Structure 1
Amino acid sequence: MLFAPDTEESLEFVVALVNTAPAASRSGTDELSTVDDLGTLLSGYTYSGRIDHDHAELEAVRDARTLLQKVWTLNRDDAVEAVNRMLREARALPYLTRHDGSDWHIHATEPTAPLAERIRVEAALALIDVIRTNETSRLRVCDADDCEGIFTDLSRNGSKRFCSVRCGNRVNMIAYRARKAPS
């Protein structure tokens, strides 16, 4: 295991969030265009605290998605600056908590803070672990030419190249057809 369970959970959520963007989504459309879409996304993750279920919240989460997509691709030193800014802007104060069946883990915002702020801060806390362990190379963008999906490579040897089996199969099929095509 590379990271603490709460770090992996947060990174997994960032991947799911960013991969709702049109250039990264399976459908090629914005999969976070309605409040219901946000509810569906959140249903697979444990976000305790305030959730407003309104358009303003949706827009703020979409802004967080854009920010996190940019941070994902930064080099280690630039990521430090972005992470520190996210924590500073939220006036984050880390504390240990356990809830909803999760063991002790870190939060740094109050449960009453806006959802998008909590998303940014939890992502920042996870990125702290990634940066401190010098594993930013595990934060990847899909190698498929037509995909901007992101993923966390948690494989033992760090050799994962695609955001999904679908992208890997598609790229491999294209390469196979190119090899078999008459010259």
Structure 2
Amino acid sequence: MKADEAEQFREFVQARWARLVRTAYLLTGDHGEAEDVVQLALTKVYVAWHWVQGSDNPDAYVRRILVNTNAGRFRRKRVIRLLGVTPPEQRTAADSTTRQVEQRDALVRALAKLPARQRAVVVLRYWDDLPQADVARALGLSFGAVKSQASKGLAKLRADPGLHGAVWGADDGAEVIAV
């Protein structure tokens, strides 16, 4: 790889690292595993940087590699893994920050119960806020399959008892989604 390409790759990674780790965390349920998946995915991106850089949408290319790398963890290990969430530390004061942490924890637990494909669709569609067409391209699914998987995934999240009464919204308190 030429020096200018290496620099472009470095800048690409620096600009997207945090978002990729957040997405991987929602796919894996573990921060350490999320970083490992992102590193493996970026290793693959580095090798193919010339093609990634020249594509119409490098971010979509990288997301697809990320999702496929995560799915590959299960194929390699041939072990059923349940996503785990570290329990929050004990708290004494019930403030809004505590409630947000508890709600996020409940959401991660609920996401962990979804099948991998539904989880990937829900995370990319609603967490990363991608249009359905981009999710379909990233996962190699048809537009209809994305709609179906998103609908089924959201229905399971709405039915999850851990999310009843949770309110998801902007920092200013505006309600966006009530489960």
Q: What is the TM-score of this pair, normalised by structure 2? A: 0.27
Which structure ranks higher in relative contact order (CA pairs < 8 Å, sequence separation ≥ 6)? 1
Higher helix share: 2
**Superposition TM-score, scaled by structure 1 size:** 0.26
